[in-house]
Chains A and B, each alone.
Chain A
Amino acid sequence: MVDVKHVSKVYGNKNVINDVSVKIAKGKITSFIGPNGAGKSTLLSMISRLIAKDEGEIYIDGMDVTRCKSNELAKKISILKQSNNINIRLTVKELVSFGRFPYSQGRLTKEDRKFVAEAIRYMELEDIQHKYLDQLSGGQRQRAYIAMVIAQDTEYVLLDEPLNNLDMKHSVQIMKVLRKLADELGKTVVIVIHDINFASCYSDYIVAMKDGRVIKEGTTDEIITPSVLNEVYDMDFKIEEIDAERICVFYS
């Protein structure tokens, strides 16, 4: 379990995260939603020790994140940010192999190779595993990065806007994979996501944030309601049930 207790972060004189406490359940998909500048990405970065927090405590399975050795944490929690999506001439397989770095420090063992091959198969990248990343489409590249995180084999997988710049087909594909990660491999998946309907259809829990605070958290059914969403986004939502999924209509 990830346990965030009274965490705050200040940039200049702006409180980007203001006394946030939240618990993230194991083996489930938890989505962070909220308007731009709500502090979702910042919170994710603090949970994964990418940036330091100013106040409060964050525990992962009872271990204090700031006191843990970085290399040990790398076997427990992984994070994928949009900014990771850089142009570097590595092949897909090389990139995925780097996911094993926390275990092997670059000298791949037989077991490491097995994990790499499995991750590539899981993301259906076999055909393009020897291609360079800069030759791939955005969707393929995103899948390659997720394969790397799968090879890293951490209990907690954090993804900051994994659907950014992806078309509908690839977005669905990625979300289905994340669902499989939670259901089949028992991973705890935490995502920051803007598309509210993807959040509604694929997550178990949703945390709604605004202005650096958690406004409401709960199961998907508790959050995807007109009143909660109205409070979060300051706009009107109509919610229809289609095939037992709650779909938000907000385009007009």
Chain B
Amino acid sequence: MKLIYLIIGFIILAVTSLFLGVQDISPLDLFSLTEAQAHVLLVSRIPRLVSIILAGVGMSICGLIMQQLTRNKFVSPTTAGTEDSARFGILVSLMLFSTASPLVKVLVAFFFALLGTFIFMKLLEKVKYKDAIFIPLVGMMFGSIVGSITTFFAYKNDLIQNMSSWLQGNFSTMIQGRYELLYISIPLVAVAYLYANKFTIAGMGEEFSVNLGLNHKQVVNIGLVIVALITATVVLTVGMIPFLGLIIPNIVTMYRGDNLQNSLSHTALLGAVFVLACDIFGRVVIHPYEIPIGLTVGVIGSGIFLYMIMRRKAYE
């Protein structure tokens, strides 16, 4: 797939997303917007579009980095407990500081996401049975344990309803003033670009890295910090978007290879295109109501995940 097709698809979907909704706005109105139309565009449509793009790009790149660093095609924020840990962090921040500002929440969520991912990496080292499919299973079990701890404490503290809103990603609540935190992911994605080569080398193993004079531990840690921070901001603002970080990088590396320098741009764009498409689908299918993104991506994503497991011989 050429990059240009992705760009064209991205532009078409982005424009569609802007002009789709209960309030009728067509591209022709752009130069003669009524006050109400301008308001909808600025307060709701544009923030929604931006958050879709940032979340799609961010989560896909997180998955790509994780798969490279763990050398396992089935590892992603969903299958390594990162998302669940971030959600646990949000609960803790709600319990400890009930009036926490978004920044405090994201910091606590980041800390927990990082901790959870480190625990997963430690588990990975301990696992003797290195079957490609066994590792994400361990990660998903670990995620479920963290998730159930979250539910337990949420139940104890009457926060169940609050917490379930983070369980399912939803872009319909992305309005001005509620999505800006996602901008944190822009500099992080930039760092990922700078480190692309180093992540590729780190993915070839510690001995390989040392031979080339690369500080393996440092590069892995930087990768995990990027993953944890992007995941924390996305989970906090949008909610969990399952399997996104798993399927996008897998599709891209199939045709672009494992050299991050070649696959990063494609991964970023395809991530945005996929989430845009899923979001538009969710907005159209039961119009004027909509299905949350967590559900559409979850259904389509888990389907693709299953398909990948079926034909995983091709990946080994």
Docked-complex contact B213 and A70, CB < 8 angstroms: yes
A106 sits at the interface (CB 8 A): yes
**Nearest opposing residue in chain A for B261, CB measure:** A106
Docked-complex contact B207 and A101, CB < 8 angstroms: no
**Nearest opposing residue in chain B for A106, CB measure:** B197
Docked-complex contact B259 and A84, CB < 8 angstroms: no
Docked-complex contact A101 and B203, CB < 8 angstroms: no
Stretch in A30-38, A73-81, A238-246 with 4+ CB within 8 Å of B: A73-81
Residue total for A at the interface (Cβ-Cβ under 8 A) = 32
A200 sits at the interface (CB 8 A): no
Give Cα A91 to B210, complex, Å.
21
A87 sits at the interface (CB 8 A): yes
**Nearest opposing residue in chain B for A88, CB measure:** B258
Chain B residues with Cβ below 8 Å from A138 are: none
Contact mask B241-272 → A, CB, 8 Å, 1/0?
00000000000010001110100000000000
Chain B residues with Cβ below 8 Å from A132 are: 257
Docked-complex contact B208 and A101, CB < 8 angstroms: no
- Chain B: number of interface residues, binned into ranges: 20 to 34
Q: A86-B71, A91-B257 are in contact. Are A101 and B205 (CB under 8 A)?
A: no
> Within the complex, what minimum Cβ distance (angstroms) separates A105 from chain B?
7
Chain A residues with Cβ below 8 Å from B253 are: 89
Docked-complex contact A86 and B257, CB < 8 angstroms: no
Give Cα A249 to B199, complex, Å.
48
**Nearest opposing residue in chain A for B258, CB measure:** A89
> Within the complex, what minimum Cβ distance (angstroms) separates A115 from chain B?
14
Chain A residues with Cβ below 8 Å from B207 are: 45, 50, 79, 81, 83-84
Chain B residues with Cβ below 8 Å from A89 are: 253, 257-259
Residues of B within 8 A of A (CB): 71, 196-198, 200-201, 203-205, 207-208, 210-215, 253, 257-259, 261, 316
Known: A50-B210, A88-B258. 11 other contacts (CB 8 A): A69-B213, A71-B214, A75-B213, A83-B207, A88-B203, A90-B200, A98-B201, A99-B212, A101-B197, A101-B213, A106-B197
